[in-house]
Amino acid sequence: MHLLGVLCLFLLVMAELACPACGKISKGQRDLLQQCQERVDAMIEDEQRQLRLEAEKQAEREQIEWEQDALQAQQLANFESLAFDGPDLGEDVECWPSGLPTRTHRLPRHYHDDPPALSIPVPNPIIADELETSHVSAPMDGIEPIPSPRSSTHSCYVHTESDGNDIFCQYHDQFPSYDPENMNSMDQLCDGPTFQCTENDNTQRPLPHPLVNSLKESYFTPFLNATVWYLMGWFYNSSTQKSLEDLNGLVHTIILADDFDREDLQEFSAQWETWRLDEAPRDLSSSLFTSDGWHTASIPIRLPCEKVKQPEDVAPEFRVEGLHYCKITEVVKSAFKEPATQMFHTAPYKLFWQPDKTHPPERIITKLYMANAMLQEHENIKSSPVAGCNLETVIAAIMLWSDSTHLASFGNAALWPIYLFLGNQSKYTRAKPTSFAVHHLAYIPKLSNTIQDFYMKTFGMSSTVAVLTHCKHELMQAIWSFLLDSEFLNAYENSMVIKFPDGIFRRVFLRLFTYAANYPEKILLACMKFLGNCPCPHCLITKDKIRKLGMKIDWWVRDKKARVDDRAHCWSIEGARKAMFDLGCSIASKAVEGAIRAKSLVPMWNAFSDKLSNFSFNFYSMLVPDFMHEFELGMWKAALTHLICILYAAGDDAVQQFNARFHLVSMFGRDTIRRFSANVSGLTKLAARDFEDILQCSIPVFDGLLPEPYNSIILDLLFKLATWHAFEKLCMHTEMTLFHFSNCTTCLGQALRKFSRECGAKFQTYDLPRETAACAQRKGAKSAKTGTAAGGTTGGGPKPCTFNMSTYKLHALGDYVKLIWQFGTTDNYSTQVGELEHHWVKRFYSQTNKIGFTCVIAKHQQCKRLLHRIQEENRTIAMAAEGSLPTAGSEHPSFHFVNQEPLPNCAPDAHYQVSQGKKYYWDLVAWLSRNKDDKALEGFLPKLKNHILGCLIPGSKANNRDKEFTLAQCNALHLINNRIYRHKVLRINYTTYDLCWVQDSLNPRMHSDIMVLSHEDVENAHPYWYAQIIGIFHVDVQYRGPELSESEAFGFIDPEQVIRAAHLIPAFRFGRTTTLLLPSIARPKSENDEDWDWYYVNIFVDCDMFMRCRGGGVGHKSTQEAMHCLLNDRETLDKRSFTFEHNCEPFEEGIEGSSEDDVPMDDPSSAEEESGEEGENDGSKVEDGDVGDGEQLIDDELGDEMEEYRYSGLDQVLNDNKEDAEMFGDEDGLGPEDGEDPTDEPGDAVF
């Protein structure tokens, strides 16, 4: 204030005066002083007002803090007496503004979750003499012992002990000689990108030494030098669209390699080096070049003609060129000699779970080698042994898959591959494209356009639509008849002897189990009519009974009218073919269709029936469900489409709310639930995974969009659909879950019929705008081709639509439980695995000149697989050189210098440090057996157990130092998985004489000498003992003796108490509120200071969440007791009495739970009666040209039926071109995880 006055006086000498306080300018002294005084007074008043406000706020904050402290003190004082028993619904309950009752805050229950057990230890029953016999006297390939009359043997079962998850295995007769589960590591059990796993080349146990001896000395064979080997490997392993990562790999792994020599590239030719791979000589003694590669062949088919009478064996023969194939026996032999064989199961077994010892064990179904089909085949083979042969018998479980795919986004280039999988391998490995578990068996050629010229030249007339369709069926069966050759049949009946990588000969029987394909291809394989009156390849149900899903009549038809390949079936086919060829009858005539029409068959010999019927093989049973096309892109897509039609019919802003709500649903996981678009109702550009996400989040979105009672009916339907989908997606089933799955199918059928009956009668629904536009586009394209005007024939608006419940996709939902019992869970034979393999052939196609690409793709595939096998063999050689292989010369527990074992920085207060890794380990029993004559290991196991018990038993370790524990105490100590883990380095921290804390690093190779305090009874003995470290080990043990003392800790909630993430979706129906929380930084800004009143917990977000909320998860050991209360929410059907190991198909009275389902119901108006022609029209002629034209192969009646049944794209059955597939148009809905590029054109026979 004084400074202000001084400044003002100083400024008076100026012509113009400026106040430093306010900056105003004045020429008079009095005016200036008055103005400044007013300004200063105002500033002082403002400052005092701010101080008062701050004081008031501070006092208010202090009051709030005092009240909170008092409340917390009161809660802490009464903590032990606080309890919450839930309010009585009949009493008045104090509520928050949202309506939620006040609750007592309590800490969560203690939670502890252990990792799953790596394996179930299986004893080895094979003694040394037997192994030597199998090595010495085993017959070589092609030399079979003379079979003698077979005799049955007595069957018995042996089982293992239970593991930490209360699971045990049961084998037939004896334990297998080899159990790949013992090689499991946490790397294989961990499923997530952020787990700290070992390097890829160390995730598997090294192969036995005999394999290494069979390898070539040059690791770059068949190339001449390492430089070329590096370049060819880089070419096949890198992406087709080069990236910076590929460039880095080229420089660092190839050019900078020690053995890279530019002189080796002076005469380099990529074509020549590729030829080396293609033409590498076959060597049966090698594990690399065992297969004779790809072959080409032409397939003959016999052509019928109306009014031309001639026996079938002299009928004109048309040859279809371009079949590229591998022999099945060669593929299997090659597969069993690959390094991946170390993870093959040689014997099937039953898996049981017994969490409660007072109840019987419960069967677990997960992989094929645990399912009934393989178990039954194994027992059949065991009951009929080969006389004079003591070799172990193994089943090669063949699983087939086929589907055509477009190779490019533009053009008509397509490939129709047949893939072969081996069910002996874990399904989790088969699902990874990088595991090379898929074997390319054949590439099916198309029916060429020259058939029209040949037919015209031979018969003097054009072929009919029925004849061309017949030829497509004939071609498929002829190809499979060719692939099932005499070598395959001999191996199927008499087996083949194969030397496995462990050096042991085993007798391998080939068996077919599953064939995964979409519906059109199933029709080809089963020799049935497309969309016939009996559309199911498993049973003879008719279209009018499909809607009765889950009813007693439905279960009865599936069981009592199952399709069987018997003599009557063969006689009816033989009669139909004689009428077609010998009598010259039309394919659609009564003479041909008379005996086969009732079963919707075609006059076709089935290749699987012709080749394998003598072995009691029913080819209908191998056709497994295709849940991606039958449910996600089938039944659920149809239900969702009709639900959106209902929202349009309801009017108002229901569709807009539907889209807005989905757009507000949050994402979950890395890719479990993705962000929904702003226009979900458009159903555009959606893959199968998108329809799955929509189903999992649909209940909160649909809730309240329609009035009652329709809202409740739709929510009940969505809950049943989501429950059924979750059961179907489970990767591990138990008897109880399969029982509930069967009941869920029954409930789903009830919900679908109720929805169709009650909601369908209320709302007049029409096609969606997208479908209306697509229909107009199809008709316009058809009119343009035929040259007719479309204006007078096309409708002016959308067509009425109803919910169709007469499709095969609905009926297929009832087959899942039975086939899971037979072949394991659906991920064993999912078509998604085959779709993923399409990425390889598409990549190879981009590397061709687009002319004659099928042959080039076959060669590229062979080169890629061979390079992968060479890399695996080189890894084995490198590990053998490093001393990592369990051979006679590498049993020493020390590590080679190149072996890597990460060891982080040591804590300064620790006395010692050893790595906690489990990368390197031995099977203790096997290791001691191999070194049983080694004196250094005499008494190794008793000494080890005494040492461990001395550390575990309560009391001072010094008291137990010399104690010899009893046999009972030693037996109470179990070494988990019989594994002893080896380590490279031991760090010892100690105090020096000058009070420094220093560290010694010890290892058995070089720094192995140590000193310890001596324990001598002699007076004045030397104070130290000296020793040399032989190995550094640790073991995981389980002690079942007297309870040991444990320190317990209890504190505040920490992350260890968190079970897993959850997915919460707002209950949109109840809206938002602003009364729960004042504006806070705890709320996202996007919420506009509002909160949702209620939330849904999405129990369908993934299978693990579903099982946690339903109960019965095998791996949920730590939460099983807490989940007992969830049993009260079961369906009425699930509360029925349940007997283990029973038939899961319900036939009991009252199975439906509702009498209304036993009353016959009228079929929906949309269900068409079967026409006499069933889509065939023998009278229509086809002009010369492209047989792929849809108008020439599909008449209007069948086309309309396809549109009504929502089938699209007949790439295999009726047309070949992309343009024709688009004509029948729904998008295929496949995305990257489905195995298809989003850019792929529709029409890949997706149904």
The DSSP result for 332-366, as a single string, is: HHHHTTSGGGGG--SS--EEEE-SSTTS--EEEE-
Task: Please tell me the total number of residues recorded for the chain in this structure.
Answer: 1247
Question: Rg (Cα) of the chain, in Å, rounded?
Answer: 38
Q: Which of the residue ranges 54-68, 319-333, 599-613, 659-673 would you say has the lowest mean pLDDT? A: 54-68
Query: What's the number of CA atoms in the CB half-sphere (13 Å) around residue 212?
Result: 18
Q: Which of the residue ranges 441-445, 609-613, 985-989 would you say has the lowest mean pLDDT? A: 985-989
- Sign of the dihedral defined by the CA atoms of residues 1233, 1237, 1239, 1243, in that order: negative
939 domain residue, yes or no:
yes
Please, which pLDDT band fits residue 410 given cuts at 50, 70 and 90? confident
Beta bridge partners of 400: 420, 515
> What is the C-alpha to C-alpha distance for residues 969 and 991, in angstroms, rounded to an integer?
37
Give the per-residue pLDDT at 442: 92
Position 186 pLDDT exceeds 90: no
Contacts of 176 (CB under 8 A, 6+ apart): 122, 345, 346, 347, 392
Position 755 pLDDT exceeds 80: yes
> What is the C-alpha to C-alpha distance for residues 852 and 857, in angstroms, rounded to an integer?
9
Contact present, 885 and 212 (Cβ < 8 Å): yes
Quick one: which of 424, 441, 438 has its CA closest to 498? 424
> What is the C-alpha to C-alpha distance for residues 369 and 426, in angstroms, rounded to an integer?
9
Contact present, 1103 and 737 (Cβ < 8 Å): no
Give the per-residue pLDDT at 751: 95
> What is the C-alpha to C-alpha distance for residues 858 and 852, in angstroms, rounded to an integer?
11
Q: Are strands 317-325 and 17-18 parallel, antiparallel or unpaired?
A: unpaired
pTM comes to 0.69
Phi-psi region of 922 (alpha: psi -120 to 50; beta: other; left: phi over 0): beta
Give the per-residue pLDDT at 1061: 72
Please, which pLDDT band fits residue 102 given cuts at 50, 70 and 90? very low
Task: Give 115: exposed, middle or buried? Use CB within 10 Å, 0-12, 13-18, 19+.
Answer: exposed
Quick one: which of 199, 197, 204 has its CA closest to 182? 204
Quick one: which of 478, 488, 441 has its CA closest to 858? 441
Give the tens place of pLDDT for each residue, 476-485: 999 999 999 9
Give the tens place of pLDDT for each residue, 608-618: 999 999 998 99
Q: Are strands 505-516 and 392-402 parallel, antiparallel or unpaired?
A: parallel
**Helical axes 816-823 vs 735-754, angle rounded to 10°:** 160
Higher-pLDDT residue of 881, 1048: 881
Q: Which of the residue ranges 210-219, 227-236, 258-267 would you say has the lowest mean pLDDT? A: 210-219
Higher-pLDDT residue of 380, 963: 380
20 domain residue, yes or no:
yes
Give the tens place of pLDDT for each residue, 354-367: 888 888 899 999 99
Contact present, 444 and 416 (Cβ < 8 Å): yes
Give the tens place of pLDDT for each residue, 125-166: 443 333 333 333 334 343 333 333 333 344 588 888 888 778
Q: What would the two tokens of residue 1191 be?
A: 């108008």
> What is the C-alpha to C-alpha distance for residues 372 and 819, in angstroms, rounded to an integer?
10
The DSSP result for 1092-1129, as a single string, is: ES-EEE-TTSSHHHHHHHH---TT-GGGTTGGGGGGGG
Q: What SS3 state is found at 198?
A: coil
Q: What would the two tokens of residue 885 be?
A: 């292989």
Give the tens place of pLDDT for each residue, 509-567: 999 999 999 999 999 999 999 888 999 999 999 999 999 999 999 999 999 999 999 88
How far is CA 585 from its chain centroid? 49
Domain boundary residue, one of 1013, 1039, 1065: 1039
Summarize the confidence of residues 766-772 as an average pLDDT.
84
Task: Give 89: exposed, middle or buried? Use CB within 10 Å, 0-12, 13-18, 19+.
Answer: exposed
> What is the C-alpha to C-alpha distance for residues 157 and 126, in angstroms, rounded to an integer?
16
64 domain residue, yes or no:
yes
Cα separations (Å) of 217 from 222, 286, 552? 11, 12, 67
Q: What SS3 state is found at 443?
A: strand
Task: Give 1019: exposed, middle or buried? Use CB within 10 Å, 0-12, 13-18, 19+.
Answer: exposed
Position 839 pLDDT exceeds 90: no
917 domain residue, yes or no:
yes
> What is the C-alpha to C-alpha distance for residues 558 and 556, in angstroms, rounded to an integer?
5
Contact present, 335 and 511 (Cβ < 8 Å): no
23 domain residue, yes or no:
yes
Summarize the confidence of residues 1155-1163 as an average pLDDT.
40
Position 855 pLDDT exceeds 90: no
Summarize the confidence of residues 157-181 as an average pLDDT.
83
Q: What would the two tokens of residue 372 be?
A: 């009934």
Helical (H) or strand (E) element with 499: strand 496-499
Amino acid found at 99: G
Q: Which domain covers residue 26, as residue numbers?
A: 2-77
Higher-pLDDT residue of 44, 738: 738
Give the per-residue pLDDT at 749: 95
Give the per-residue pLDDT at 535: 94
Higher-pLDDT residue of 865, 190: 865
Query: What's the number of CA atoms in the CB half-sphere (13 Å) around residue 155?
Result: 13
Query: Between the ranges 424-433, 1016-1025, 1193-1202, 1224-1233, where is the mean pLDDT highest?
Result: 424-433
Position 989 pLDDT exceeds 50: yes
> What is the C-alpha to C-alpha distance for residues 137 and 134, in angstroms, rounded to an integer?
6
Percent of the chain with pLDDT over 70: 63
Give the per-residue pLDDT at 180: 79
Give the per-residue pLDDT at 97: 41
Q: What SS3 state is found at 282?
A: coil
Give the per-residue pLDDT at 618: 93
Quick one: which of 301, 304, 302, 315 has its CA closest to 584? 304
Give the per-residue pLDDT at 493: 92
Higher-pLDDT residue of 962, 301: 301
Position 1148 pLDDT exceeds 90: no
The number of folded domains in the chain is 2
Give the per-residue pLDDT at 192: 53
Position 884 pLDDT exceeds 60: no
Percent of the chain with pLDDT over 90: 27
Domain boundary residue, one of 36, 53, 77: 77
Amino acid found at 40: V
Contact present, 440 and 417 (Cβ < 8 Å): yes
Give the per-residue pLDDT at 778: 78
Contact present, 1185 and 449 (Cβ < 8 Å): yes
Give the per-residue pLDDT at 1137: 67
If one counts every other C-beta atom within 10 angstroms of the C-beta of residue 900, the result is 13
Contacts of 862 (CB under 8 A, 6+ apart): 277, 278, 293, 294
727 domain residue, yes or no:
no
Local structure of residue 1091 (DSSP, 8 states) = E
Residue pointed to by tokens 């138990």: 734
Percentage helix, strand, coil for the chain under 3-state DSSP, each rounded to 5:
45, 10, 45
Give the per-residue pLDDT at 1042: 59
Q: What is the largest CA-CA distance in the chain?
A: 135
Give the per-residue pLDDT at 476: 94
Domain boundary residue, one of 1006, 1039, 1072: 1039
Q: What SS3 state is found at 1001?
A: strand
If one counts every other C-beta atom within 10 angstroms of the C-beta of residue 719, the result is 17
Helices (DSSP H) in 11-155: which residue ranges? 29-77, 128-136
Average pLDDT over the chain reads 72
> What is the C-alpha to C-alpha distance for residues 541 and 683, in angstroms, rounded to an integer?
32
Q: What would the two tokens of residue 483 be?
A: 């692939």
Cα separations (Å) of 1193 from 411, 446, 1005, 1197, 1208? 21, 15, 76, 12, 14
209 domain residue, yes or no:
no
Quick one: which of 318, 295, 608, 313 has its CA closest to 481? 608
Please, which pLDDT band fits residue 325 given cuts at 50, 70 and 90? very high
Higher-pLDDT residue of 626, 849: 626
Please, which pLDDT band fits residue 179 given cuts at 50, 70 and 90? confident
> What is the C-alpha to C-alpha distance for residues 289 and 282, in angstroms, rounded to an integer?
5
How far is CA 1147 from its chain centroid? 32
Contacts of 1088 (CB under 8 A, 6+ apart): none
Contact present, 661 and 747 (Cβ < 8 Å): no
Helical (H) or strand (E) element with 685: none
Quick one: which of 313, 314, 312, 318 has its CA closest to 576? 312
282 domain residue, yes or no:
no
Q: What would the two tokens of residue 1122 be?
A: 């807490």
